[in-house]
């Protein structure tokens, strides 16, 4: 896909506001559509299973909203964020620590994936000439652009000596919202997120928290109409959960709603509804999702 130098009038406006704006910019693919909020996702290259699951869950929950996921194509969190964005149908923007030519993209193992991003309508942006190979000093330079271009920075995980800490600090300097997910106490990957949460970063536990930070109102959903494909017991439970109920309350009242359903069948139906995302348990009570 063609690489072109962006004329300044086409630059993302927020990059013109940072203390050290780039002198030149090259684009491959497409920038986010107008009106899109940009969420930069950063974290460790040595990604944990917990970090992967959290990253995928949060980004998946943003599907259908005008959000672009920005990251750097590195292994670990960057790759996970880009892949989750594609799976959710979101635009994603790559800012590599190199030029944009196929032969210089880093890491080499992600060059084929970079083409997938472009084929899906994503984009790649760099301040280095297209054939510029990656260099250790380019990555912190690139990170300032990742923060500068976005509306908020989401830190998935970062150890005590992680370069992600520098990127997160830039969010404060550039007046960007800093968002962090919580970890277990004692987890070495929790150092960065927990440090910044103590310093005032927003604690993120679900996609709704990200929407709030980006100023995007959640879609209104109607829970008054039952899906048309529910089995009898599932429909009985759905009807019952017009008001939240505990598991015991559901079991006690199920016989009056479905004469043939035993406890096992009721629990099976409840799990089926949960797997479809129609109901969920929160603070000991079940309610419609």
> Residue 61 and residue 43: Cα distance in Å, rounded?
19
Each residue's pLDDT tens digit, 160-215 = 888 889 899 999 999 999 999 999 999 999 999 999 999 999 999 999 999 999 99
Q: How confident is the model at residue 221 (pLDDT cuts 50, 70, 90)?
A: low
**Domains in the chain: ranges and CATH:** 3-214 (3.40.50.450), 232-288 (1.10.10)
Give me 179's structure tokens: 């968002």
> What pLDDT, on the 0 to 100 scale, is given for residue 79?
97
> Residue 114 and residue 44: Cα distance in Å, rounded?
19
Q: Whose CA is closest to 164, among 139, 200, 136, 198?
A: 139
């Amino acid at each position: 896909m063609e690489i072109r130098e962006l004329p300044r009038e086409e630059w993302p406006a927020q990059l013109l506001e940072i203390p050290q704006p780039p002198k030149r910019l090259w684009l491959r693919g497409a920038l986010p559509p107008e009106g899109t909020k940009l969420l930069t996702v950063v974290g460790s290259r040595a990604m944990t299973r917990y970090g992967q699951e959290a990253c995928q869950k949060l980004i998946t929950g943003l599907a259908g909203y005008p959000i672009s996921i920005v990251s750097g194509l590195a292994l670990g969190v960057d790759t996970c964020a880009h892949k989750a964005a594609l799976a959710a149908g979101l635009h994603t923007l790559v800012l590599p620590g190199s030029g944009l030519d196929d032969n210089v993209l880093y890491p080499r193992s992600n060059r084929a994936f970079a083409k997938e991003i472009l084929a899906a309508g994503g984009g790649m942006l760099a301040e280095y000439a297209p054939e510029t190979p990656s260099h250790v000093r380019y990555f912190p330079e690139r990170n300032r652009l990742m923060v500068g271009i976005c509306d908020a920075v989401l830190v998935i995980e970062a150890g005590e000596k992680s370069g992600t800490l520098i990127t997160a600090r830039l969010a404060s300097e550039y007046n960007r919202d800093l968002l962090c997910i919580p970890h277990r106490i004692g987890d070495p990957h929790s150092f960065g997120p927990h440090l910044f949460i103590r310093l005032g970063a927003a604690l993120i536990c679900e996609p709704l928290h990200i929407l709030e930070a980006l100023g995007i109102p959640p879609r209104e959903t109607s829970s008054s109409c039952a899906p048309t494909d529910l089995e009898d017991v599932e429909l009985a439970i759905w009807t019952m959960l017009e008001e939240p109920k505990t598991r015991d309350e559901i079991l006690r009242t199920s016989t009056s709603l479905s004469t043939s359903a035993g406890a096992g069948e009721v629990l099976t139906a409840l799990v089926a509804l949960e797997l479809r995302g129609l109901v969920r348990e929160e603070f000991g009570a079940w309610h419609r999702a």
